Amino acid sequence: MDAQQLIALDNAHVWHPYSAIGADLPIFPVVSANGVRLKLADGRELIDGMSSWWSAIHGYNHPVMNRALQAQMEKMSHVMFGGLTHEPAVKLATRLIELTPAPLQAVFFSDSGSVAVEVAMKMAIQYWHAKGQSSKQRFLTLRNGYHGDTFGAMSVCDPVTGMHSLFSDVLTKQYFVDTPTCRFGEACSDDDIAPLKQMLEQSGNNIAAVILEPIVQATGGMNFYSADYLRRVRELCDEFGVLLICDEIATGFGRTGKMFACEHAGISPDIMCVGKALTGGYLTLAATLTTHEVSSTISSGEPGLFMHGPTFMANPLACSAALASLELLTNSDWQPNIERISVGLGQGLAPSRELDSVADVRVLGAIGVIELKRSIEMKTIQPMFVEHGVWARPFGRLIYLMPPYVTSDEDLELLTAAVNRVASKIE
């Protein structure tokens, strides 16, 4: 098919994320991808500033990743995980336990980030049920958070400013407190933590866990909040007897400058969700990790097992991709590299601070954000980025970049210069 045929059939039959069938929105067919560049059907090449929604940290068509998948494909592409096991899954679970903060010791694999969050929430509820505290079935979380699009995950996304208000009448009602105003690098005052503490005092007997995105609230607003706040959340969870779930799906595997964002606060959650960059963007895979205390309590309580089991759980191809991706990451000087990208984003996006349309410019690790004073129209702004040779996918009032870790200094300059030029055209 040529590009026009492909677009016509796409518009007629294909449903894209957060879109409508036949929506009058620009769509750009990709025919190949290599390194940090996407090649479009019309021959244009775009520098990818999104890592394909934060997952393709090693770029595209990486020879090490390709070889790992080819080798695994010749053995088996898939086998059910009920009653069977295989080396890629066992090795990956072991590697994740080595990389994540102690005392996380048990790994449950799933297909996507949203499902990893569902698994975490079910773990928390089943844990308290096994301990004879079945009233603890609700969750406490921060406003402006985002945890996925399935029903349990939607219930802990922001109920007002989030994307799921349409379903508010059928979602489980959870507990919310305002997003902390103490920013990353600042101390957390008693006033900052008071709303969360008050909610735990009032409703702790009904709360199974606090669930949050550590340090960076991603899709909900790209807010970078205080590591000290996260430390105090951990203390309050211990004080009031609730679990702490850290959703590291967007932040895990080096994106913020630490392997996991919770390390900025020097804490470990009771349950952690990872995904996105886990396989280097090659295949869909996620994992929910928990402590021996949680896993053994669930396993010894009624009904004596954890009630979840995806068909494609621990897919061997996906696990092999994850092992190769983690090897690439950990065998590199990834922390200095993230700092290099951070400096490049900070310097590159700095000119946008002077624009009348811009409210804030902020950078943390390999995340760069331009916050505008008003929302932008995707229909208008998306083609502008393409015309300038880059791929960025803004939303609301936010233009943000999460480039692959292999992005060169030269490409960072091109990427940020293009973003500045587009931002300068926004009134």
* Long-range contacts formed by 78-83: CB under 8 A, 24+ apart: 78/312, 78/315, 78/316, 78/317, 79/316, 80/311, 81/109, 81/309, 81/313, 81/314, 82/309
Per DSSP, the residues of 381-404 read: HHHHHHHTTEE---BTTEEEE---
Options 2, 18, 178, 379, the catalytic residue: 18
Q: Are the CB atoms for 342 and 402 separated by under 8 Å?
A: no
Closest CA to 324 of 104, 145, 70: 70
Closest CA to 366 of 266, 276, 251: 251
Mention every residue, 6+ apart, whose C-beta is less than 8 A from residue 266. Answer: 227, 231
The one-character DSSP state at 49 is S
Reply yes or no on whether 247 is catalytic: yes
Helix (H, G, I), strand (E, B) or coil at 13: helix
Q: How far is CA 213 from the centre of its chain?
A: 8
Instruction: Round to the nearest angstrom and report the end-to-end CA distance of the chain.
Output: 39
Options 127, 146, 175, 405, the catalytic residue: 146
β-pair partners for 366: none
Q: CA of 70: how far to CAs of 75, 238, 281, 393, in Å?
A: 9, 46, 16, 31
Reply yes or no on whether 136 is catalytic: no
Looking at this protein, which amino acid is placed at residue 413? E
Q: How many residues does the chain have?
A: 427
Reply yes or no on whether 127 is catalytic: no
Options 122, 197, 258, 276, the catalytic residue: 276
Reply yes or no on whether 60 is catalytic: no
Options 111, 192, 247, 270, the catalytic residue: 247
Indicate which residues carry an active-site annotation: 18, 146, 247, 276
